[in-house]
Homo-oligomer: A and B are copies of this chain.
């Protein structure tokens, strides 16, 4: 916009008052009595000049940016995580708006240093950060936390006491496996979503193990294969499972993307889900319901995670720290076709 932008001085002049009064009226400062006529004159002048206070000046004087940032680490799991981005972002922005905050989106590309986001915090571009996909070797993160910069993780960083929002992976996996057990399966295999270096992967595996043990069944490492985020890893994992002496009758696959590949492997062997093998996935990506067969899967509430992370962060920013800063959201089993429950 050209240079003719009105300032509070212009409004004051037009309304015949001081800039103080303009500020007081426009910000609706409470416990300040200003005559209704004056108030009206200011409002009218502002409207007439199409005046909006300058955000930069406001930020400087208030010491607040009214902005939070979502830092989005990209990596080998990009496609996997992209599936959650729209929901997560929508949840975060909705919560942010509710409290009067804006949301800055900052992806960290694989070719950037892991801590490329710290300048956002140190340079006061934002009042707080949501970090999605934290890396445990990120010392900048720990430093910032020590300096009391408001931070919330989406995901988990074992060992650090940084506030975080995540799904209860173990519970979700247990629910999935219990469902297969209830359908009468005894030989249940698993394909993980990712290598065990990923916390979520370990937790989902642990949920699988616990559900088996709880049912008095042995945990057999031979029935576990390791996925790696993508379809191809699922295809290979299922291939390997199919070559087993004692084939599982059901497989819990801790990622829908990986499950897609597993389903393909099944088709390539002339096998059908759920008739020849029951499948339960994890994530409930947007198109899971449209697969053939429609995928029974564990729903991850992306919107809720985004909302929860933003709300927790804003409470921290505003000094209203809750007792519990490790938020775990429940998942929900969505029963469709691939588990075979509808057949019975």
Chain A interface (Cβ < 8 Å from any Cβ of B) = 1-2, 5, 50, 52-57, 59-60, 63, 65, 67, 70, 74, 79, 82-83, 85-86, 89-90, 93-94, 102-107, 109, 119, 121-125, 147-149, 231, 260, 264, 267, 285-287, 290-292
Task: Tell me whether chain A's interface is mostly helix, strand or loop, or mixed.
Answer: mixed
> Are A52's CB and B86's CB within 8 A?
no
Instruction: Determine which of B57, B70, B109, B292 lies in contact with A292 in the assembled complex, contact meaning CB atoms within 8 Å.
Output: B292
Contact A2–B148 (Cβ < 8 Å): yes
Copy count, this protein chain? 2
Q: Contact check: which of B103, B119, B122, B264 meets A104 at CB < 8 Å?
A: B103
Q: Which of B59, B86, B260 contacts A82 (CB 8 A)?
A: B86
Assembled-state Cα–Cα distance A109/B125 (Å): 25
Distance (whole angstroms) from the CB of A305 to the closest CB of chain B: 16
Report the Cα distance A224→B216, complex, angstroms.
59
Which residue in chain B gives the minimum CB-CB distance to A127? B1
Q: Is the CB of A52 within 8 A of B260?
A: no
Most chain B C-beta atoms within 10 Å of own C-beta, residue among A56, A74, A89, A125: A56
- Cα distance A100–B55 when bound, in Å? 19
A52 touches B287 (CB 8 A): no
Least distance between A203 CB and chain B CB atoms (Å): 25
Check B85–A124 contact: CB distance below 8 A.
Answer: no
Q: List chain B residues, Cβ under 8 A from A123.
A: 52-55
Q: How many whole Å from A133's CB to the nearest CB in chain B?
A: 14
